[in-house]
Amino acid sequence: MPTADSPLNPAHILSVGDLTRRIKVLLEDAVPEVWIRGEISNLRRQSSGHNYFTLKDAESQLPCVMFRGQALRCAVDLRDGKQLLVNGRLSVYEPRGAYQLIVNVAIEDGLGRLRQEFEQLKAKLAAEGLFETERKRALPSRPRVVAFITSPGGAAVRDFISILRRREWRGRLIILPAKVQGREAAAEMAAQLAVAARLKIFDLLVIGRGGGSLEDLWAFNEEPLVRAVAACPIPVISAVGHETDFTLCDFAADRRVETPSAAAELISSAYLEQVEAVAGLGRELREFAESELERRRSRLELLFHRRASASPRQFVEQQFLRLDDLAGRAQAAMRQDLHLRRDALHRAAAALAARAPAPRLNVEQARWVALRQRLKRLGKTTLEPRREKLAHLERRLRETDTGRVLARGFVILSNTEGVPVTRRKQLCAGQQVKARFADGEAGLKADNFSA
């Protein structure tokens, strides 16, 4: 411990910020997430969405902050004077060196104890695997015998029965009476689950009641009942009348629905689908039977007419009719053949008259004179210009002949691949080329280039 006369070690001196940070670390490590009960005062809602308030009781007060994200999810109407049960963690706001509670959850104090028990038991049973999806069983599609564990005098059971009757469900419903609210309710419902398991006559169990507050529904959160639901060998539907919240029986059951009425609709839906399927099959069977009956009736009528037409009298009458028909067709064919032969004879006579010697000679002479005159005209107007043009083209073709050009002293150069060389820039020093003369070819080498 330094004195006034001894010097201070600079390494042992802390700044205010260092000390505050040490306190913050110690506080956050020493005090984990906690639940605290108190009354709201000095509530301030910031434009950012954060809420600042003080939680106090008769002995002390605690600064609190609820950030925007938690405030949006908070279902409690925060206001001064309201009793709250809050969950959060302690921290230190370093700029002011003040500790505060960062609130995660806020609920009204009247529900706080039950909510805490609910969360603790839920975590415990979940850790044991009672709520695992893998252990849940599929519901029977067409249950024949259903048990409903509920209060026999409640509105829920009346609605349940009314829906089943309205949808004309044909199964058997047995009400297993039990209290659904109060201290003995959970034990009675668990006992009825055991009775249903011993009877071994039920295909499906429904357990539930109408809506109510958290305290009214608390029996469905008690551990003995939740364990009994999870252990029941018969598929169980939890139908507690609360749409926005859950009970622990909902998690333990094989299926959860919002209300008992919804459970009745679920049970009867598969039955209605089956009824509709049977009705459809009945319609198809009726249509098939009517179609088959009509087909067999038509065949019977056909056989009847065939048998009637097979009598001797009918046969003779049919043969007479056929004979008359054939006679008519033969006479018509003979008349048509006669007309065709007469027309052919007329055409032959006309052709013979046209080929008689005297008329034919005159016609041929006239055609010969006309042809000679036409040839004379064509010789003068058409043949002579074309003959001159053809001679001109022949002279030009002879002048452009490669052999004649080479004979006049010209040479054709090409590279080794046979491509003609027409420009000096196509050559490079030492390049081998071929020269074609009028009397043959010779290999050359390019050299001594000049401009």
Q: Which domains does the chain have, with CATH numbers?
A: 12-118 (2.40.50.140), 129-274 (3.40.50.11400), 405-445 (no CATH)
pLDDT digits (tens, 9 = 90+) for 49-62: 999 999 988 788 89
Which of 131-135, 346-350, 376-380 has the least mean pLDDT?
A: 376-380
User: Please, which pLDDT band fits residue 238 given cuts at 50, 70 and 90?
Assistant: very high
Per-residue confidence (pLDDT) for residue 297, from 0 to 100: 85
Per-residue confidence (pLDDT) for residue 309, from 0 to 100: 59
User: Please, which pLDDT band fits residue 379 given cuts at 50, 70 and 90?
Assistant: low
User: Please, which pLDDT band fits residue 193 given cuts at 50, 70 and 90?
Assistant: very high
End-to-end CA separation in angstroms for the chain:
108
* Tokens at 411, concatenated: 């040479």
Residue type, 405: V
Per-residue confidence (pLDDT) for residue 421, from 0 to 100: 80
DSSP single-letter state for residue 77: -
Phi/psi at 285 (5° precision):
-65, -40
User: Please, which pLDDT band fits residue 192 given cuts at 50, 70 and 90?
Assistant: very high
Asked if residue 403 lies in contact with residue 395, where contact means CB atoms within 8 angstroms, the answer is no
Phi/psi at 174 (5° precision):
-125, 125
Sorted by sequence, the CB contacts under 8 Å of residue 3 that are 6+ apart come out as none
Whole-angstrom Cα distance, residue 103 to residue 65?
6
* Tokens at 383, concatenated: 């043949």
Per-residue confidence (pLDDT) for residue 235, from 0 to 100: 95
* Residue 214 pLDDT exceeds 90: no
User: Please, which pLDDT band fits residue 314 given cuts at 50, 70 and 90?
Assistant: low
Q: Sheet containing 236-240: give its strands across.
A: 172-177, 145-150, 204-209, 236-240, 255-256
Which of 1-15, 89-103, 124-138 has the least mean pLDDT?
A: 1-15
* Residue 305 pLDDT exceeds 80: no
Which of 134-143, 180-189, 263-272, 340-349 has the least mean pLDDT?
A: 340-349
Per-residue confidence (pLDDT) for residue 451, from 0 to 100: 53
Q: Where are the beta strands (DSSP E) in 327-447?
A: 412-415, 432-437, 440-445
∠ Cα 52 23 10 (to 5°): 135
Per-residue confidence (pLDDT) for residue 313, from 0 to 100: 62
